[in-house]
Structure 1
C-alpha cells in the first residue's frame, strides 16, 4: 500500500471516530504516519480527501448501481433489489458517522456542499432511480411505477436503519431482505 492509500485509510478511520468537521488534515496525516505536506501532495484539500474516502473506503454502492443500470436483466429482480438494499445499508452505516458532523453548522454544510462540485448525497438516489427505470423499461416492474419514489423509499429505509444503529451504538439489523421484498411487492 502506498502513501496515498494509507492516507485515505487513515482519513476514513479519523473521520469515523471524530466526524468530518473535527477531522483535521494534520491528525489524518499523523495517523497515516506522514506529514501534512505528503497529504497535500495527493489531495487538494479535506473535501478532496473526503470524496476519496467515499469512493475507496466505503461499500461500492455507486459502482454496483452503474453495473445494474447498464445490464439490469442479468439477475432476478429480487436478487438485484437485495443487492442494492445490502449495499445501501452498508454504505449508510459506514458513511453516517463521517458525514453527520457536516450538519453541525450551516456554514460548514454550505462550504462543503459548494466544494463537492456535483458530487453528493443525491448520487445514490439517482443511481437507484436509473436502475429502477431500466427495470421498468425491460417490463420487469409495473409500467406506472414511480421509480423516483420507489428509490427514495428503499434508500430512505437504509438511511433510517443506519441512523438508528449509529444513534444506539449497535450493529445494524440485517433488514435487506425485508426491505427488498416489501419494495418488490409494490413494483
Structure 2
C-alpha cells in the first residue's frame, strides 16, 4: 500500500548532480535497460545509499535526466531561432525547423525521444515535454496575433494542434531507421503546414 503523501523535494547537492551526469552519459551510450544502478553509482563516485537518498529508483533518476535536458533544449531552441529569423513573424516556421534538428541529434533522440516514452510511458513523456512546445508555440503565435495574422481566440486550438504535430514528428524521428531523412520529411511537412496557415490567415 502506497502513501498518499508526496515525497519531500530533495535539496540540490553535488552528489545529485554527479548521479544525473553519470546516468545521462551511460543511458546515452547504452540505453536505460542496459545500465544498472550499481554501474551508475560507481561512475558517479557515490554509494547506493546516496542514490536512494536522492531518487526513488532508477526510473526517477532517468526522469531527472530528462528534466535536466528540457531547459537545455529550450535555451538552444530560443538562441538558434533568434539567430536565424529576420522578423518576429518567422518565429514559428524557423523555430519548428530548429526543434526538429535538435530532436534528430543522437543524444536527444535516444534519451528524450526513444527512451523517454518507453521508460515513462507515452502519457508521462507527453506531459513532461508539453511545457517546452507550449511555451515555444505560445511565444511564436503571439507574434502572429500582434500582426493581425491570427486572432487571440485562435491560439489555444492552434497550440494544441501544432503541439500534436511536433510530438508526432518527434516520435517519427525516434522510430525511423534513417533519422535525418525522417527529420527532413517532417520538417518539409511542417513548413508547408505553417506556411499555409500564415497565408490563409493573411487573407
C-alpha change, 1:131 and 1:58, in structure 2 (3 Å) is closer
Query: Pairwise CA RMSD of aligned residues?
Result: 4.2
Q: Which residue of the partner structure matches residue 71 of structure 1?
A: none
* 2:54 aligned residue (42, 52, 68): 42
CA contact (8 A) 1:18 1:98 kept: no
Q: What's the CA shift for 1:50?
A: 2.0
CA distance in 1, matches of 2:63, 2:180: 25
Asked which structure has the greater RCO (Cα within 8 Å, sep 6+), the reply is 1
Alignment: residue pair count: 172
| SS at 1:151 equivalent | helix
Measured in 1, the distance between the counterparts of 2:145 and 2:104 equals: 28
* Structure 1 residue 185, shift from structure 2 partner: 0.8
Matched, 1:184 2:194: yes
Unaligned runs of 5+ in 2: 1-12, 80-86, 199-203
User: TM-score, structure 2 length as denominator?
Assistant: 0.58
Shift of 1:76: 1.5
Q: Deviation of residue 101 (structure 1)?
A: 4.6
Change (3 A) 1:30 1:119: farther
Partners of 2:183 and 2:69 in 1: how far apart? 21
- Find the residue that maps to 2:128 and give its secondary structure: coil
3-state SS in 2 of match to 1:142? coil
Q: Which has the larger radius of gyration?
A: 2
Aligned counterpart, 1:9: 21
1:25–1:6 Cα change, 3 Å: same
Match of 2:138 among 130, 137, 148: 130
Provide the TM-score with structure 1 as the length reference: 0.62
The answer on whether the counterparts of 1:10 and 1:32 sit within 8 Å (CA) in structure 2 is yes
Q: Which one of 54, 60, 80 corresponds to residue 66 of structure 2?
A: 54
Counterpart of 1:87 in structure 2 is 99
Asked if 1:97 is matched to 2:110, the reply is yes
